[in-house]
Chains A and B, each alone.
Chain A
Amino acid sequence: MDNLIWLIPVLPLAGFVINGLGRNTLSKGIIGAIGSLLVLIAFGLSVAAFFQIKNSGVPIEVNLFDWISVGSFHIPFAFLVDQLSSIMLLIITGVGFLIHLYSIGYMHDDNGFGKFFAYLNLFVFFMLLLVMGSNYVVMFIGWEGVGLCSYLLIGFWYTNPSYADAAKKAFVMNRIGDLGFLLGIFLLVNTFGSTNFADIFPKAPVAVAAGAPIVLITLLLFVGAVGKSAQLPLFTWLPDAMAGPTPVSALIHAATMVTAGIYMIARSNILFTLAPHTMEVIAIIGLATAAFAALIALTQTDIKKVLAYSTVSQLGYMFLGLGVGAYTGAFFHVLTHAFFKALLFLGAGSVIHAMSGEQDMRKMGGLKSKIGITFWTMLVGTIAIAGIPPFSGFFSKDEILAAAFAHSTTFYVVGVITAGLTSFYMFRMMYLTFWGKFRGTHEQEHHLHESPANMTIPLIVLAILSAVAGMIGVPAVMGGHHELGAYLAPVFEASHKILGEHELSHSTEWILMAVSVGIALVALGYAYSKYVRGAHVPVSDEEERPTLGNLSYHKFYIDELYDKIIRKPLDAISVFFYKVVELLGIDGFVNGLGKGTLETSKGLRLLQTGNVGFYIFMMVVGIIAILLYSLIKI
């Protein structure tokens, strides 16, 4: 297995090259088959790697070549597949394959079919590089690469200017975070003299005791994670990223890329554990993001926007988990979230497909009987995300909330209320979409149809996974063994030693579970009474909304705020620099130098009269002047 591990990222790269070069010549069937099959083979290899690690307990390390070698400083191009990355590999290639399969159906009528699969494969390649790198620099290559692919895919329909703008927004926001990550890497090199995980992590406790700037390092790394994983204050790009095709939203902006920040922090868990202040910051930002995004999601009417804000909110949960030291719980949530959120996005894509491109939930309704498979699978996903047992979301969310409770009651209360909001807006989405009467046009109603098999099969597979994935993390209190926790234990061993185990009593855990499930059910019931019994439909954009609803609907005017306090002043400064510094200063200086030379020589050339006698006279005058000068000098 060790000598095949490099194939996992190389296969999607090969897919990118083949599909990229043959995008206009190969038939759609071949492109789709190549793109999907290569990812499927990579998935097979990932499964093999997973079982090898599970059986032996030894991480796979492969050093491909020395990449940068300066003096005693080496950056090898090496892969490390341990317990943490093996799970990520399974998510990326597994969910990735399903989404490739789905895309064959979803993108079938698109002219950019080949381009789409090439980008998608390239994304998978970079994402695999990100999780497989054995040092921060290789991770950073993947980190930048997925950002690039995200940009390319958000702006996939680039002829629409607002989509192209959304792509640019995502790219710029990510760059802000990347700068933090990069500075963090530099500081790590400065502190530890290496970027290898294997070199840094064992040395970290000693270095921190000796006064290494660990808080600064971890904060900078966290800035990177904030950008990539769309946390406050850099989250506004993710909802806009829904401009991309729906499979992209599912793969990149829900299941994999946005969890890169969580993966990075989980990977560097020992560094973060040693910096309790950073942990506190992470927990607070995560919690604030979770609550904030949930509040926005309450009133959105675009089906993909609801899911986008819910993704931001769930990512906030994951950061809350990381911040309170529940690394396993956070990672568990990454895993379950990848399943149910990919499912929900693909389901939303199927709904949009059925509705001939309509995304506004106010125009849907009553689709339950028309697109049955989509409905049932999405229902599973919704129950999972709402945290209702025994579906997967319950277990992972509960683990995070329990850890938050052990850390601080306030965190728990906010977290549970957010869980209630989650349940409300998710069921609101379901009720508006699938219950009630159809509110669209006749033409849309006429075209309503269930999606083809290659779109519904991924939905069914993901629905099964969303339903049962929680079983790998059943807590001890419910008589489980938490297989995921046991499997991941070596990765978080050092951190757990420092943090210690804060065991909650079994009765407390039962109460916590009951509370969160109770709140989720109450929210569900409220949504039911409002949107099914009351047949309430969100008002159209022209009508007045209550103040709070208005705030939420307009995303608390965050975009407008950024526009006012960042973009406008930046624009003004740019204009100033252009008009004054550039045009008057730099251009003025350079042009002035040229003009000055020209004018001076215009005057001086008049001396060249062509009169030889004058030349000779001037020469004599010159000689006399030199003689006089030397006379005076003496």
Chain B
Amino acid sequence: MESLTQTIQAVPLNHYILLSTIIFSIGVMGVLLRRNAIVIFMSVELMLNSVNLLLTAFSVYRGDAAGQVFVFFIMALAAAEVAVGLAIIVMIYRNTNSIDINVLNRLKW
């Protein structure tokens, strides 16, 4: 265990932060630019997991396990959310024969 911590700490914290930021940004861009609902969904997962990564990194550096516990909760929640989200997408597909989000433009004034 001791060695794992040291291995992780061998990489400077800044790098972890940078990596998470990049992944998060990729997620944001994916959400903003893509139209496929499943891809958007995947991008959201990407954002979520970049945050998870950051949490674990901080947790190791601070020697506080709370961050990692948090991550487990987030993962559990994300799994539940994925189940619901995918179900919604399936229903949308059944109704519109498409998962392009631009088809869903009837929710307006």
Contacts and interface: CB of A to CB of B under 8 A. Distances in A.
A610 B32 contact: no
B99 to A, nearest CB: 12
Kindly state the interface size class of chain A when it binds its partner: 10 to 19
B40 to A, nearest CB: 8
Interface in B66-109: 101-102, 104-109
Contacts of B109: 605-606, 608
A410 interface: no
A609 B105 contact: yes
Contact of A620 (B32, B101, B104): B32
Interface residues of B, number: 13
A330 B101 CA distance: 99
B25 to A, nearest CB: 11
A613 B35 contact: yes
A617 interface: yes
Nearest to B108: A610
Given A605-B109, A606-B109, A611 B102 contact: yes
B38 interface: no
A610 B107 CA distance: 5
A68 interface: no
B55 interface: no
B102 A613 contact: yes
B31 interface: yes
Contacts of A613: 32, 35, 101-102
Contacts of B105: 609-612
Nearest to A616: B31
Interface in A589-634: 605-606, 608-613, 616-617, 620
Contacts of B102: 611-613
Contacts of B107: 608, 610
B28 A610 contact: no
Nearest to B31: A616
B31 to A, nearest CB: 6
Nearest to B44: A616
B60 to A, nearest CB: 25
B106 A610 contact: yes
Nearest to B109: A605
A609 B101 CA distance: 13
A627 B101 CA distance: 27
Nearest to A614: B105
B7 to A, nearest CB: 32
Contacts of A620: 28, 31-32
Contacts of A616: 31-32, 40
A634 to B, nearest CB: 18
Interface string B1-42: 000000000000000000000000000100110010000100
A620 B44 CA distance: 12
A608 B32 contact: no
Given A605-B109, A606-B109, A612 B32 contact: no
B78 to A, nearest CB: 18
Interface in A92-141: none
Nearest to B107: A610
A597 to B, nearest CB: 16
Contacts of A617: 32
13 contacts: A605-B109, A606-B109, A608-B107, A609-B105, A610-B104, A610-B105, A610-B106, A611-B105, A612-B105, A613-B35, A616-B31, A616-B32, A620-B32
Sorted from nearest, which 9 A-B pairs have the closest CB atoms?
A610-B108, A610-B105, A612-B101, A605-B109, A610-B107, A608-B108, A608-B109, A611-B105, A612-B104
Interface of A: 605-606, 608-613, 616-617, 620
Interface of B: 28, 31-32, 35, 40, 101-102, 104-109
Given A613-B32, A616-B32, A617-B32, 6 more contacts: A605-B109, A606-B109, A608-B107, A610-B105, A611-B102, A612-B101
